[in-house]
C-alpha cells in the first residue's frame, strides 16, 4: 500500500444538486409521469432522494411510502414521518409484517437452511417493491430508487427488490458524498449520522453484514487503496449480474454463425 497521502476530490454541491434535479425532471417528463413514489425508511439515502425529488417536482408530485416491519425501530418511523412533514409530502403507511409472514408460512425454507435469514429478507425487500409499484401505477408515478454508488458497485441491494425501480437519482454518489449532500439540503443530523440499515431482519446493520465500514469501502472504491480491497473486489465480482439485464440466448446469431456446426437433437 502506498504511504502517499490520498486526496479525494470533493463534490461541487451546487452543481451536483442542479444535475440531479434536472435529471429527475427530465426522466419524469420523458416517461409522461405525474410524479414519483419513494420508500421512506428514515435513512439518509431515502431522505436525500425525497428532498431532491421535492426540489425537482414540488411536494404534491412526491409520495412517500413507509413500510415498517414488527422489528423496525420506532425512531426510524418517527424520522421518516418528520422528514415527510418537513418536505410537506403526502405519505402512506403499510406494515409489511402480515404480508411477509404469510409468505414465510407458505414457502419458507427449512429452519436449518443456512440462507434462510437472507431469503426471508429478500422477500421483504420485494414486497416493498410491489407496494411501491402499486402506488406508482395507481397515480401514474415513477418509482424512485434510493441506492447510492457504493451499494450499487458492491451489489448491496436486492435484485427486483430495492433494485427494482424506474429512476436512480443517487446511484452515482458514494455513501460519504450522500451524507455531505444531505447536510447541504438540511436533512436532520439524526438521519445523516444514523448507522445504515436495510431493516430486513432484527438488529441488522449494513456495516455489520458487510464486515467493514462504508468509510473503508468508499476509500477503496474512490482511490483503489485501503484494507477493504479484497472484500470489495469480491463483492463487486459476485454481484456483477445485478448490474446488467438478464443475458439472452441470441439464437438467430448463433444459427447464422454456426449453422454448419449445429448438434442435432
> Quick check: 27 pLDDT over 70?
yes
pTM of the model as a whole: 0.90
Domain-embedded: residue 19: yes
**What would the pLDDT profile of 93-139 be if each residue is shown by its tens digit?**
999 999 999 988 888 666 666 677 888 899 999 999 999 999 999 99
Which CATH number fits the domain that encloses residue 22? 3.40.50.620
Give me the DSSP letters along 139-192. HTEEEBP---HHHHHHT-S-TTTTT--SB-TTTTS-HHHHHHHHHHTT--HHHH
Instruction: Answer yes or no: is 4 within a domain.
Output: no
Residue 84 lies in a domain: yes
User: 3 in a domain, yes or no?
Assistant: no
pLDDT grade, residue 2 (50/70/90)? very low
For residue 1, is it within any domain? no
Whether 93 maps to a domain, the answer reads: yes
Q: How far apart are CA 204 and CA 196, in angstroms?
A: 9
180-226 pLDDT, tens per residue?
999 999 999 999 999 988 878 888 889 988 999 999 999 999 999 99
> How many structural domains comprise the chain?
1
Is residue 8 assigned to a domain?
A: no
When pLDDT is cut at 50, 70 and 90, the band that residue 263 belongs to is low
Domain range for 116 is 13-261
**6 found inside a domain:** no
Amino acid at each position: 500500500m502506498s504511504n502517499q497521502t490520498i486526496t479525494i476530490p470533493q463534490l461541487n454541491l451546487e452543481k451536483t444538486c442542479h444535475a440531479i434535479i434536472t435529471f429527475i425532471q427530465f426522466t419524469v417528463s420523458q416517461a409522461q409521469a405525474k410524479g414519483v413514489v419513494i420508500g421512506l425508511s428514515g435513512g439518509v439515502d431515502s431522505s436525500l432522494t425525497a428532498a431532491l425529488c421535492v426540489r425537482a417536482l414540488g411536494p404534491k408530485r412526491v409520495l412517500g411510502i413507509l413500510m415498517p416491519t414488527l422489528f423496525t425501530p420506532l425512531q426510524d418511523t418517527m424520522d421518516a414521518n418528520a422528514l415527510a412533514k418537513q418536505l410537506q409530502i403526502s405519505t402512506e403507511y403499510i406494515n409489511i409484517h402480515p404480508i411477509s409472514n404469510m409468505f414465510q408460512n407458505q414457502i419458507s425454507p427449512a429452519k436449518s437452511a443456512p440462507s434462510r435469514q437472507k431469503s426471508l429478507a429478500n422477500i421483504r425487500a420485494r414486497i416493498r417493491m410491489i407496494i411501491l409499484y402499486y402506488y406508482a401505477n395507481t397515480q401514474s408515478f415513477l418509482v424512485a430508487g434510493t441506492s447510492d454508488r457504493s451499494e450499487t458497485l458492491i451489489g448491496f441491494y436486492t435484485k427486483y427488490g430495492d433494485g427494482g425501480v424506474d429512476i436512480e437519482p443517487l446511484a452515482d454518489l458514494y455513501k460519504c458524498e450522500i451524507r455531505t449532500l444531505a447536510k447541504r439540503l438540511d436533512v436532520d443530523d439524526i438521519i445523516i449520522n444514523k448507522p445504515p440499515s436495510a431493516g430486513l431482519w432484527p438488529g441488522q446493520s449494513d456495516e455489520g453484514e458487510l464486515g467493514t465500514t462504508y468509510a473503508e469501502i468508499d476509500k477503496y472504491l474512490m482511490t483503489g487503496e485501503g484494507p477493504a480491497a479484497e472484500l470489495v473486489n469480491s463483492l463487486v465480482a459476485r454481484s456483477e449480474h445485478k448490474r446488467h439485464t438478464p443475458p439472452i440466448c441470441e439464437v438467430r446469431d448463433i444459427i447464422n454463425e454456426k449453422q454448419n456446426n449445429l448438434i442435432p437433437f
